[in-house]
Structure 1
Amino acid sequence: MKSLGNKIAFVLICVLSSLLSGCGDGSDYTPPPPPPTELTDSYDDIAGLLDHYNVPGVSIVTIKDFKVDRIIALGVKDKSSNIAVTPDTMFQAASISKSLAAVAVMKAMQNGELSLDADIHDILYSWQLPDSSYSADSVVTLRRILGHTAGINVHGFNGYNRTGQLPTTLQILDGQSPANSEAVKLIHTPGSKFQYSGGGYTLMQLALTDYYQQPFYEWMHDQILSPLAMNNSSYQQPLPSAFIEQTSMGHYSNGKKVDNGFHVYPEMAAAGLWTTATDLANYMIEMQNTLNGNTMNLLETERLMEMLEAGKNPRFGLGFELFQADNYGYFGHSGANEGFQAVMLAHKTEGVGLVLMSNSDNGVQLFNSVVKLVGKLEEWPGF
Structure 2
Amino acid sequence: MNRIAAAVLIAFSGAAFAQAPAAVPAAPATIATASAAAYSLEADVTRAMKLFDVPGIAIAVVKDGKVVAAQGFGVRKLGAPEKVDAKTLFEVASNSKAFTAAALAMLVDEGKLAWDDPVTKHLPDFQMYDAYVTHEMTVRDLLTHRSGLGLGAGDLLWWPTTNFSTDEIIHKLRFIAPSTSFRSSYAYDNLLYIVAGKIIAAKSGKTWGETIHERILGPVGMTTTTTSLAENAGNPNVANAHSKIDGKIAAVKSMPVPNAVGAVGINTNAEDIARWMNVLLAGGSLGKDANGSEARLFSAKQAQEMWTAQTPMRISTPNPKLAGTKPHFAAYGLGFQLRDWQGKLMALHSGALQGFYSKVVLVPEAKLGIAILTNAESGGSINALQYQLVDHYLGTPNAPDWIGAVAAVENENHAKEQARLATTKAARAAKSQPSLARTAYDGDYQDPWYGIATIKHAGGKQILSFARTPDLTGELQHFQHDTFIVRWKERNFNADAYVTFALNPDGSIERMKMQPMSTETDFSYDFQDLNFTPVKKSQ
Counterpart CA distance in 2 for 1:315 and 1:81 is 41
Give matches, 1:338-377, under 5 Å: 338-362=354-378, 364-377=379-392
In our comparison, the structure showing a higher alpha carbon Rg is: 2
**Amino acid in structure 1 at the alignment position of 2:366:** E
Shift of 1:349: 1.9
| 1:368–1:195 Cα change, 3 Å | closer
Shift of 1:227: 1.0
Work out whether residues 128 and 174 of structure 2, in 8 Å CA contact, stay in contact via their aligned partners in 1.
no
Coordinate RMSD, CA, aligned: 2.9
Cα distance per residue 1:74-98 (max 9 Å; x no partner): 1111113232111111001111000
**Amino acid in structure 2 at the alignment position of 1:284:** M
**Amino acid in structure 2 at the alignment position of 1:336:** A
SS of 1:86's equivalent?
coil
| 1:153–1:269 Cα change, 3 Å | farther
TM-score by length of 1: 0.79
Counterpart CA distance in 2 for 1:205 and 1:257 is 33
Match of 2:201 in 1: 209
Match of 1:221 in 2: 213
Shift of 1:345: 0.7
Work out whether residues 151 and 189 of structure 1, in 8 Å CA contact, stay in contact via their aligned partners in 2.
yes
Shift of 1:367: 2.6
Match of 2:436 in 1: none
| 1:133–1:189 Cα change, 3 Å | farther
Work out whether residues 292 and 349 of structure 1, in 8 Å CA contact, stay in contact via their aligned partners in 2.
no
Match of 2:273 in 1: 280
Residue ranges of structure 2 left out of the alignment (5+ in a row): 7-37, 288-293, 313-329, 400-539
Counterpart CA distance in 1 for 2:382 and 2:357 is 9
| 1:153–1:326 Cα change, 3 Å | same
Match of 2:126 in 1: 128
**Amino acid in structure 2 at the alignment position of 1:197:** D
Give matches, 1:79-118, under 5 Å: 79-118=78-117
Q: 1:241 aligns with which of 218, 230, 233?
A: 233
Residue ranges of structure 1 left out of the alignment (5+ in a row): 1-15, 24-39, 176-180
Cα distance per residue 1:215-252 (max 9 Å; x no partner): 11111112211110111212135435244x22211111
**Amino acid in structure 2 at the alignment position of 1:340:** F
Q: 2:243 aligns with which of 218, 240, 252?
A: 252
Shift of 1:21: 4.6
Shift of 1:334: 1.0
Work out whether residues 174 and 184 of structure 1, in 8 Å CA contact, stay in contact via their aligned partners in 2.
no
Shift of 1:190: 3.9
Work out whether residues 141 and 150 of structure 1, in 8 Å CA contact, stay in contact via their aligned partners in 2.
no
Structure showing greater relative contact order (alpha-carbon pairs closer than 8 Å, 6 or more residues apart): 1
Work out whether residues 366 and 394 of structure 2, in 8 Å CA contact, stay in contact via their aligned partners in 1.
no
User: Is 1:230 aligned to 2:222, yes or no?
Assistant: yes
| 1:61–1:130 Cα change, 3 Å | closer
Q: Flag the structure with higher strand content.
A: 2
Counterpart CA distance in 2 for 1:341 and 1:90 is 13
| 1:255–1:92 Cα change, 3 Å | farther
User: Is 1:171 aligned to 2:168, yes or no?
Assistant: yes
Counterpart CA distance in 2 for 1:321 and 1:165 is 28
**Amino acid in structure 2 at the alignment position of 1:263:** M
| 1:218–1:60 Cα change, 3 Å | same
Counterpart CA distance in 2 for 1:147 and 1:130 is 16
Match of 2:487 in 1: none
Counterpart CA distance in 2 for 1:271 and 1:80 is 28
| 1:118–1:165 Cα change, 3 Å | closer
| 1:235–1:98 Cα change, 3 Å | same
User: Is 1:151 aligned to 2:148, yes or no?
Assistant: yes
SS of 2:133's equivalent?
coil
**Amino acid in structure 1 at the alignment position of 2:382:** F
Match of 2:348 in 1: 332
Match of 1:43 in 2: 41
Match of 1:4 in 2: none
Shift of 1:184: 5.2
Cα distance per residue 1:268-306 (max 9 Å; x no partner): 011111111221221111111127997662122221111
Query: Which stretch of the first structure deviates more once superposed, 106-115 or 78-87?
Result: 78-87
Work out whether residues 285 and 296 of structure 2, in 8 Å CA contact, stay in contact via their aligned partners in 1.
no
| 1:139–1:352 Cα change, 3 Å | same
TM-score by length of 2: 0.57
Shift of 1:379: 3.8
Work out whether residues 291 and 305 of structure 1, in 8 Å CA contact, stay in contact via their aligned partners in 2.
no
Work out whether residues 88 and 237 of structure 2, in 8 Å CA contact, stay in contact via their aligned partners in 1.
yes
Shift of 1:376: 4.3
SS of 1:72's equivalent?
strand
SS of 2:73's equivalent?
strand
Work out whether residues 284 and 298 of structure 2, in 8 Å CA contact, stay in contact via their aligned partners in 1.
no
| 1:369–1:240 Cα change, 3 Å | closer
Query: Which stretch of the first structure deviates more once superposed, 166-175 or 263-272?
Result: 166-175
Give matches, 1:301-312, under 5 Å: 301-312=300-311
Counterpart CA distance in 2 for 1:139 and 1:380 is 46
Counterpart CA distance in 2 for 1:237 and 1:174 is 25
The number of residues matched between the two structures is 338
Work out whether residues 201 and 207 of structure 2, in 8 Å CA contact, stay in contact via their aligned partners in 1.
yes
SS of 2:365's equivalent?
coil
**Amino acid in structure 2 at the alignment position of 1:252:** S
Cα distance per residue 1:165-224 (max 9 Å; x no partner): 63211233345xxxxx99656555443332221011112222332333211111111221
